[in-house]
Every structure is written in structure tokens, then in C-alpha cells.
Amino acid sequence: MRLTVPHLGHLDIFLGAMSRKIGPEFIFPPKTSSRTLQLGVKYSPESTCLPFKFILGNFIEALEKGADTIAMISDHGPCRVGMYDVVMQQILKDLGFQFDWITMDDTHILRDYLIRFNRERKRWGVSFWDSLEAIRFSWKKVKVSEFIERMAHKIRPLEMKRGETTRVQTDSMTLIDDASDFRALEEVQQRCREKFDRIEKDESRNPLKVLITGEGYMVINPHANQDIERRLGEMGVEVTRTVWFTSQITYALRLDCLNPRSKRSAIKASRPYLRHNIGGECNASIGYPILYKRDGYEGVIQLLPIGCMLEAVAKNLLVRVSHEHDIPVLTFSLSENLSETMITTRLSAFVDLLQKRREKRRRNR
């Protein structure tokens, strides 16, 4: 069995680490490129959302590379991700690919996972403790990767030589991917921290702070959002985003009660604007700006694939949030016709606006 999964944040780091410890064999799709999107657009129904097209492209490329089993998540609405599996299977079969399909349903997410995991574990002859250890290690790896990302977000606006942070970040990611046990990982983390410290920084700058929120796939994947974090960073803006691999998992498993910046508390904060949790990231997209405004964030960027059912509601309500909490919101609704110039132009106008607001506030004080 050669499994494949779509690119989704740090999913490949997590599963890659696990498969090296206990199996099964994973064939990851090649890095998402313009060819991926082209393939996806060519074979997808016209009016599906952008994540569908990216993921379909990923699957086609993975099957070309020799994968024979596809694992894909699913849910029970109202987002259309729950229907991806039927439509994608149909398209891939029509293209003449041979494959098995595993749908991971979210209704019994834990139970289902555990049963399937246990079965696979026995088949591969791995002991229970080994598998637990492997999961713990993979989790740690993702944690470290996210730590690196957060560090890069902080340092990028301060760097003297443009592009250095990105270079260090890419190097660090390869190091993390190569680490094979807990001690090596510890060392790698230390080394990465030193590397980041060595970057030449201008500490006198006081970067703007911007929050990136919106639909999960678009926020978490740099290839889908045109690397918006890097672009903003190089414009001298400190960014953070709302969707992280670990935060999504802890939310799904209800382990995030104590975190004040969790999705759960964001949904709570959105209550005055949207009384019921309608699913997906919609409520969180409304709630996070309110939470982060208290931390001194000055602007919000919302990302959504065009035609998204849930985020369109959030977009409507964010206008009101923006008024009442005095925080500018810029919405990108992205389709496959992406243009870099459009993104940079709108981003730099937004950054200018935030600078002006800051100056105005300083003058008034």
C-alpha cells in the first residue's frame, strides 16, 4: 500500500515522520506548483472552490508518481468538503487511474482512527508503545516546525537583508525533516534558534501587526494564498495566522479549553455577531479579529476561495466587526486566476493605510 494525502499545512511532516518510524509507506504529491493547479482546474467542475482544484491536482500528480491509495478527510456538512470524495473519485476514475480510496469521516473521528490505526498497527507488527512514541515524535516535529514559522513571522519584518529569514526558515525545515529522534530534534531546535539570532536585525523598527484569518485551506497553505505571509513580512509587517495544524487537531479533539487564543474562544467571541455556530471556520473568522484586537493587532486580512459557502457569511459580518472594533479588514476572495500584481498592490495599499492610521493616532495623542 502506497498511501497519499493532499498537501495541507504540515501534514506531510507529521505523516512523513510517522511513516519512517512505523510505516506505512507514503508517497507525497510533488510540491504544489502551477502544474498542479492547471491539472486541477482542467479536470474539476468549473464552479467548485479553489481547494478542490488544488487537492485534485495533488492527487493526480501523486497517482502519476506511483501512489495507489488515497486518504482524504470528509465531514457531514454544511461545507462542501464532505462531498469531495464522491466527486473526486468519479473524476479520477474517468481519467483511468486505478486506486483505493479511504475516506476519513469526522463523525466518529477518534473511534474510527483508533480502530483503523490499531488494525494497521497489528498488520505491520508494530507494538502499541512504539506507535504511541511515533505519534508523540511526529507531533513534536510539527510543533517545532510551527515554532520556526512563528519565529520567522516575528523576525522577517526586522531583517536588514531581504530574504534572509526565508532562507533560514527553509534550511530549518529541512533540518527538522531530517531529525530522527527526540534528542536530534532538540538539537535542531537549538541550532535553528541560533541561526535566527544571527540574522542581522534592525531592532528600532516597530512593525505593524496584521492577523491573517479566513478559510482553513487558504490560510494554512502558502501555495494557495500566494505566500502572503512572506510578502507582508517583507513589507515590514509582523503577521500571525489563525489556522495552525496543531490548533485544528486540538480543537477537533477538544483539548484546547485552556488556550485563550484557541478556536473555541474565538467562536465564543463571535457570539454577538453570529448567534449560532454554523460550522467551518466561519465563526472563528469573525471571532479571532476581536480577540487579536485586544493584543494590539492593527489589521486583519481575510482569505477565502471564491464562492465559499461559509466565509461569505463571515465576510458580510466582518464589515460590522471592523466598524465596531475599529480594525481595518481586507478581504481577498481568490480564484485560480491569481495575479501576483493584484495581491502586492492591494497589500501595499493596505499597509499604507495602516501606517497612516498609526501616524494619525500618534498625532492625536
Partner 1 sequence: MSLRIGIPRALYYYRYFPLWKTFFEELGFEVIVSRPSHRGLVEQGFKFADDDTCIPIKMAFSHTLNIKDQVDFLFIPRLLSVEPRTCCCPRLAGLPEMLKYSIPNMPAILDPYVDERYRDSHLFHSLFRMASELGKRSREVKEAYRKGEKDYHVFRERMERGEKVPDLFPKGERESPLPQKKIALVGHPYCLYDPYFNFNLIKILEDAHVSLFLQEMVSRKDIETEIRPLRKDIYWSSGKEILGASLYYLRSKKVDGLIYLTCFACGVDSMIEPLVRHKIGENGGIFYLCLMIDEHTDPAGVQTRLEAFLETMERRKDHWRKE
> What does the H/E/C string look like for the chain?
CEEECCCCCCHHHHHHHHHHHHCCEECCCCCCCHHHHHHHHHHCCCCCCHHHHHHHHHHHHHHHHCCCEEEEECCCCCCHHHHHHHHHHHHHHHCCCCCEEEEECCCCHHHHHHHHHHHHHHHHCCCHHHHHHHHHHHHHHHHHHHHHHHHHHHHHHHECCCCHHHHHHHHHHHHHHHCCCHHHHHHHHHHHHHHHHHCCECCCCCCEEEEEEECHHHHHCCCCCCCHHHHHHHCCEEEEECCCHHHHHHHHCCCCCCCCCCHHHHHHHCCCCCCCCCCCCHHHHHHHHHHHHHCCCCEEEEEEECCCCCHHHHHHHHHHHHHHHCCCEEEEEECCCCCHHHHHHHHHHHHHHHHHHHHHHHHHC
Counting contacts by CB under 8 A, is residue 55 touching partner 1? Answer: no
Counting contacts by CB under 8 A, is residue 78 touching partner 1? Answer: yes
Contact pick of 80, 193, 261, 268 for partner 1 (by CB under 8 A)? 80
Nearer Cβ to partner 1 (22/49): 49
Counting contacts by CB under 8 A, is residue 337 touching partner 1? Answer: no
Closest distance between partner 1 and the C-beta of residue 54, in Å? 15
Counting contacts by CB under 8 A, is residue 273 touching partner 1? Answer: yes
Per CB under 8 A, contacts with partner 1 among 218-247 are none
Closest distance between partner 1 and the C-beta of residue 47, in Å? 4
Contact pick of 83, 102, 126, 199 for partner 1 (by CB under 8 A)? 83
Nearer Cβ to partner 1 (23/57): 57
Contact pick of 31, 76, 360, 361 for partner 1 (by CB under 8 A)? 76
Counting contacts by CB under 8 A, is residue 47 touching partner 1? Answer: yes
Contact pick of 37, 79, 210, 224 for partner 1 (by CB under 8 A)? 79
Counting contacts by CB under 8 A, is residue 213 touching partner 1? Answer: no
Q: Which of the ranges 90-98, 158-166, 198-206, 220-228 carries the binding residues for partner 1, by CB under 8 A?
A: 90-98
Contact pick of 134, 173, 232, 282 for partner 1 (by CB under 8 A)? 282
List residues near partner 1 by CB under 8 A. 45, 47-49, 76-80, 82-83, 85-87, 90-91, 94, 273-276, 278-280, 282, 304, 306-317, 319-320, 333
